[in-house]
Structure 1
Amino acid sequence: MEKEIFKHCLINAVKYGGKARVDAVLGKILAENPELKEKRKEVVKKIKEVVKEINSLSLEEQKKKLEELGIEIEKPRVEEKELPPLPNAEVGKVVMRLAPYPSGPLHIGNARMVILNDEYVKRYKGKLFLVIDDTIGSEEKFVIPEAYEMIIDGLKWLGVKWDNLVYKSDRLEIFYQYAEELIKKGLAYVCECDANTLRKNRATGLECIHRNQSVEENLEKWKKM
């Protein structure tokens, strides 16, 4: 039993940076020797002694002892995966967009999205648009001026290059123009519901009470906004 404990302590230590763990070694010992479950306390005591001894050695010393025992640790296999192709995508015609909200630096979720878009652009020799989405602020989530530069710095650090930089706030007049055209065509309406009502309607599938307003009424309310 002692030899088995010593072996598994060494293997565990070398695998995890020079520090063996009692619970990990115990699991291995009991899996290979189920009959020792009845002597669990005795086994744990011995493992603790050996773990203390092994952990006092340097990682190089641990590796040397493993070699002396003729044990080689298999390196973990790294499975390489490729991004799936984009449906109906054509080389030179793919356009991807990044639209971070400037409330702070890029977070992990942003970085993942950024890298995926960048990789697809490279694969299809397309274009990448960076759109700073600074028109959706609220009392809970507001624009932080320093975040504009933080986002740019974060993208540069990730090695991402964009073809065009757009600030949504610079295009408000364009958005207003198209919004008014949609209202005139009866394809949009002015909603005056509060946030709680909006959430409730979405959750229950209820129609907004303002949806059936006339075009004239919507335009009047739109111009007062």
Structure 2
Amino acid sequence: MIAIIDYGMGNLYSVSKAIERLGHSYEFVSSGEDLLRADGVILPGVGAFGDAMSNLRDLKLVDPIRQYAGTGKPLLGICLGMQLLFESSSEYGEHQGLGLLPGHIRRFTGDYKIPHMGWNKLSFLQKENRIVDGVDQGYVYFVHSYFLQPDDTNREILLAAADYYQEVPGVVGRGNVYGMQFHPEKSGDVGMKLLDNFTDLCAKARV
């Protein structure tokens, strides 16, 4: 079973329907106990970083998510959910994240349109990683004003990136923890193949 974390800030419908189309069962979970019995966990997210972390703390989900990451079973953050995997964010003040991956979330700055919204082409940086294995290079759908600022301390976790006036991490991963800044469930064949790869990892974790 794939658990989709319901903490009041995720686009649960589109994510769950994508998982359903891939032929896998899922449950919406809001407790640590339910989360920890899953074969794979998806942390979706739409909204502000600080509010999301506050909701996770109120539901007492922060420690279970960290504990789950330590089991070796697959964990995927989508959009804001990906950002929450990192150490901190400067969105409306400084906020501590889950700290599962190294790096900090910063706002786009420059004389261009913010938020970054629309279809951008992914370039794969580590094609041998299982989450991107067999995925054809193509376009995916982004909607965000904040992004992981890549630097020398976190480049090893960058699996795919897009170009939006700078390098924008699109897919990240280390061990069993993955993140996608775009919405794979809204990104056509490329996004569905990425989700399919993730569900395959979940199925292997069940064995």
Higher relative contact order (CA 8 A, sep 6+): 2
Give 1 or 2 for the bigger CA radius of gyration: 1
More strand by share: 2
TM-score bin, normalised by smaller chain: under 0.3
Q: With structure 2 as the length reference, what TM-score do the two structures score? A: 0.26
More helix by share: 1
